[in-house]
Amino acid sequence: MSVGTEIKREAEENVEQPEAKKKRISNDDLFRRSTQFEIWSYTQESLDKTKRAANAAGAKIATQKFNETFETIEKEQPEVFQTHNETLNKDKLLTLLSFEEEAKYLNYYTQNIIPIAKFFKMPTQVKLTAVSFFRKFYLSNSVMQYHPKNIMYTSVFLAAKSENYFISIDSFIKALKDTEAKDILDLEFIILQSLQFTLLVHHAFRPLYGFFLDFQAVLLHPSPLMYDVSVNTLGSLYDKAKTWLNDNVVLSEVAFLFTPPQIALAAMYEVDKRITDRYLKRKFLKEHHELDAIKEEDSGVKKEDSEVIEKIESTESVENGEDKKDGENETANEHKEKSTVESQREQYETLVRTIRKCIKIAKQVQTSSREEVKEIDRKCFYALNPKRLIEKQVKKVTKEATTS
Amino acid sequence: MATTSTTTAKTVPDSIVQNKYSKDRKVGEGTYAVVYLGNQVSTKRRIAIKEIKTGIFKDGLDMSAIREVKYLQELKHPNVIELVDVFSTTNNLNLVLEFLPCDLEVLIKDTSIVFKSSDIKSWLLMTLRGIHHCHRNFILHRDLKPNNLLLAPDGQLKIADFGLARSLGNPNEDLSSNVVTRWYRSPELLFGARHYTGAVDIWSIGIIFAELMLRTPYLPGKDDVDQLDVTFRALGTPTEQIWPNVSSLPMYNALRVYPPPSRQELRNRFSAATEKALDLLISMTQLDPSRRCDSTQALLHEFFTENPRPTEPENLPKKKEKVKSEDELDESNKRRKI
């Protein structure tokens, strides 16, 4: 059913004959219509494939450029190339970045966005959106086509505008070394194209705040469910979860693999598994929480990290859960009762698995040593500027020839 | 979106664009865009192409253009203007929008057209559905006025111009109070509030509702100061009693204290309105934003279920099909803000 018809129904409900209960549009339905879901959500496999394709395409372009350059220079001084054919040959000189190297290099630059955003006192929102733009750009491009430095700056500049934190190009470049206004403005449009003209990014911080409020509603009202959990406990859980998001999630790829509410729950689960799990049980195994209190001890430990993982799935069942409850018939028979219990249990377990998977991926952020990045940086420079590479080699061999 | 799915950052050559869309004639030019009317070649569908100039602004892509693209990409709803496609030509960003030949302001001003109460109800309902979709996606429009409510040939009303829109709901974020065209600006904005909600849009719709009934702008302030005066003369001056903490807003001033209007005064002003219509109007124009109804409450209001039923969109009044010269057509299109 289309989203548009829902309100019509709301407004006309009393006029039309009272048919079966109408399905309401949940936040999950809305999210599934967002460009973030439609264009920018991946499975681990499809994300890897996309990145590998970008790397391969970049390598192809860099190789082509290299070959052309090589042939031009060779034509200018064929004798040198003939005599030093051992060193001055295409296979030996061609410098490309492997998929792994490119990934490391991009991680390095992603990290650099954080101090830049901090320097300009940009809100978290801008920082996260800039990271998102930067990563999305390199899902269809390679550092062997576009050097990441100015792509990074431009991502920050465009993200600031998109998130209503306008900064003039003059004050922006004033703070940057060897970058001119033109470098950034020329790339702005290219980035916008790579983003497929989609600019709205949903981050985990807003749902995190929502969960902070809902944790209070569910765990503290009407009376506290856990003897040692107060508003202060939840406040500190919220703060720590924010820090965890900042430290882990910003640099990881989870934003492509999970929904913002899933990521937010992952942060809370990682910070305090006991409280978060209690909340989830209370929320999902609603009708049966008395029973659950008894089962609680053993259920948490049984099914550990099974590798099953679906693409973005049912976190929003938090909202769905509520809708469902409204739809339940009071006079449900026993059979139905049983299947409800089962499906609730299943939903809960899927969610916990998803959250755990999210945590695991978020923690996999790999950092590279300075030396390693330096080496990749050198390679990237030559991949982008084969002329410099070949000329340097030509100079080297001719110099060796004259000295010997 | 076919043309946007290019994986490399290459510009679509102009010829491809010409094959896909025809640009028939220029209908307006603004500071940051030129608007053309044309057709989608494959479907013969009428479309408008908003060509946004890039590379002419010192700070790169214009903020209004960014906002418009950002939000219209996410909003797909019968009562929100459809962004059919986005593509780029050498140095230009092109937004392909559905063709909407008329707007509500044109109809309001055309005194030869009679509005039935069911017509007003229909337009109001469509406006509320559109804004409800924006709000549930956490998007504020911030510039609702009759001139931005466009009308499709089939009578559907579409909210347009998202150049001032923004996302809502990031805690601790300051918002600008310098938004919304003056006559449709809510009291919290007039007082310079830095934090506000979808209630600012609901206020604008309330004022548009009043304008539809009166056939003349309800609160036409001459300047920002006069706007406060005009607003409060009509709806009463907000006090701490009816709006707690109002006096702490940055630009609060209550130089002239007007009493709130009595029900009878409102009845006299809106003589054709039913009691339910007045209830809804009052609810949408509450001075205190926290007492104002939201889009859901407005849509569920009994005004919409009492007789007469809202007019079906295809039966709504339309712009009189006078035989117009090309020049006149251009003029009327130019008036529309781009």
Look at residue A298 and tell me whether its pLDDT is greater than 90.
no
Same-domain check for residues B123 and B82: no
B30-43 pLDDT, tens digit per residue, is 777 889 999 998 88
Strand-pair category, B33-40 with B21-29: antiparallel
Query: Does A251 or A322 have the greater pLDDT score?
Result: A251
Look at residue A222 and tell me whether its pLDDT is greater than 50.
yes
Same-domain check for residues B69 and B123: no
- Of the candidates B13, B137, B175, the residue with the CA atom closest to the CA atom of residue B87: B13
Same-domain check for residues B51 and B180: no
- Specify the pLDDT at position A20: 58
Same-domain check for residues B53 and B143: no
Query: Does A329 or A110 have the greater pLDDT score?
Result: A110
- Specify the pLDDT at position A320: 40
Annotated ligand binding at B17? The verdict is no
pLDDT level of residue B16 (50, 70, 90 thresholds)? low
Buried b (16+ CB within 10 A) or exposed e, B20-51: bbbbeeebbeeebbbbbbbbbeeeeeebbbbb
The amino acid at A384: L
Same-domain check for residues B60 and B91: yes
Which residues form the domain of B25? Answer: 14-99
Look at residue A27 and tell me whether its pLDDT is greater than 60.
yes
- Specify the pLDDT at position B244: 94
A188-201 pLDDT, tens digit per residue, is 999 999 999 999 99
Is some CB atom of chain B closer than 8 A to the CB atom of A17? no
Same-domain check for residues B82 and B119: no
CB–CB contact B132 A188 (8 Å): no
Same-domain check for residues B111 and B79: no
Same-domain check for residues B215 and B68: no
> How many other CB atoms sit within 10 Å of the CB of residue A109?
20
Q: How far apart, in whole angstroms, are the C-alpha atoms of residue B294 and residue B204?
A: 12
- E strands within B79-122? 83-89, 92-98, 102-103
Phi, psi (5° rounding) for residue B242?
-90, -15
Of A107-116, A258-267, A323-332, B300-309, the range with the lowest mean pLDDT is: A323-332
Buried b (16+ CB within 10 A) or exposed e, B147-179: bbbbbbeebbbbbbbbbbbbbbebeebebebeb
CB-neighbour burial class of residue B239 (10 A; exposed 0-12, middle 13-18, buried 19+): middle
B337 occurs within a structural domain: no
Same-domain check for residues B94 and B147: no
Last residue of a domain, one of B58, B75, B99: B99
User: Mean pLDDT: which of A41-55, A64-78, B163-177 is highest?
Assistant: A41-55
Look at residue A307 and tell me whether its pLDDT is greater than 60.
no
Q: Read off the pLDDT of each residue in B144-164 and give the average, rounded to a whole number.
A: 96
B193 occurs within a structural domain: yes
Nearest Cα residue in chain A from B86: A197
Q: How far apart, in whole angstroms, are the C-alpha atoms of residue B144 and residue B151?
A: 14
What does the mean pLDDT of chain A come to?
83
The amino acid at B51: E
CB–CB contact A123 B59 (8 Å): no
B30 occurs within a structural domain: yes
Task: Name the token pair of B72.
Answer: 């219209």
CB–CB contact A189 B61 (8 Å): yes
- Specify the pLDDT at position B297: 98
- Specify the pLDDT at position A395: 87
- Specify the pLDDT at position B235: 96
CATH of the domain spanning A40-202+369-399: 1.10.472.10
Query: Does B322 or A201 have the greater pLDDT score?
Result: A201
Contact B205, B198 (CB under 8 A): no
Helical H segments across B28-95, by residue range:
63-72
Nearest Cα residue in chain B from A51: B7
pLDDT level of residue B176 (50, 70, 90 thresholds)? confident
Last residue of a domain, one of B99, B118, B148: B99
- Specify the pLDDT at position A13: 43
What amino acid positions of B are annotated as catalytic residues? 143
Among residues 77-136 of chain B, which lie with CB inside 8 Å of chain A?
77-79, 86, 88, 91, 93, 125, 128-129, 132-133, 136
Contact B37, A162 (CB under 8 A): no
pLDDT level of residue B179 (50, 70, 90 thresholds)? confident
- Specify the pLDDT at position A7: 41
Chain A residue numbers with beta carbons less than 8 Å from the beta carbon of B91 are 189
Look at residue A155 and tell me whether its pLDDT is greater than 60.
yes
CB–CB contact A4 B88 (8 Å): no
Same-domain check for residues B162 and B91: no
Considering its fold, how many domains does chain B have in total? 2
Say which CATH number the domain at B80 has.
Answer: 3.30.200.20
Q: Read off the pLDDT of each residue in A50-56 and give the average, rounded to a whole number.
A: 97
Q: How far apart, in whole angstroms, are the C-alpha atoms of residue A390 and residue A103?
A: 26
> How many other CB atoms sit within 10 Å of the CB of residue A375?
13
Same-domain check for residues B229 and B260: yes
Is some CB atom of chain B closer than 8 A to the CB atom of A49? no
Look at residue B10 and tell me whether its pLDDT is greater than 80.
no
Q: Cα distance from B147 to chain A (closest Cα, Å)?
A: 23
Q: Cα distance from A364 to chain B (closest Cα, Å)?
A: 28
B253-305 pLDDT, tens digit per residue, is 877 889 999 999 999 999 999 999 999 999 999 999 999 999 999 999 999 99
Q: Cα distance from A208 to chain B (closest Cα, Å)?
A: 11
Nearest Cα residue in chain B from A125: B170
Is some CB atom of chain B closer than 8 A to the CB atom of A171? no
CB–CB contact A168 B70 (8 Å): no
pLDDT level of residue A70 (50, 70, 90 thresholds)? very high
Nearest Cα residue in chain B from A168: B59
The amino acid at B79: N
- Specify the pLDDT at position A4: 41
Among residues 127-186 of chain B, which lie with CB inside 8 Å of chain A?
128-129, 132-133, 136-137, 166-167, 169-171, 173
Q: What are the extents of the domains in chain A?
A: 40-202+369-399, 205-363
Question: Could you say which of B61, B299, B305 has the minimum Cβ distance to residue A192?
Answer: B61
Last residue of a domain, one of B30, B65, B99: B99
pLDDT level of residue A24 (50, 70, 90 thresholds)? confident
Contact A196, A132 (CB under 8 A): no
Q: Cα distance from A71 to chain B (closest Cα, Å)?
A: 26
B227 occurs within a structural domain: yes
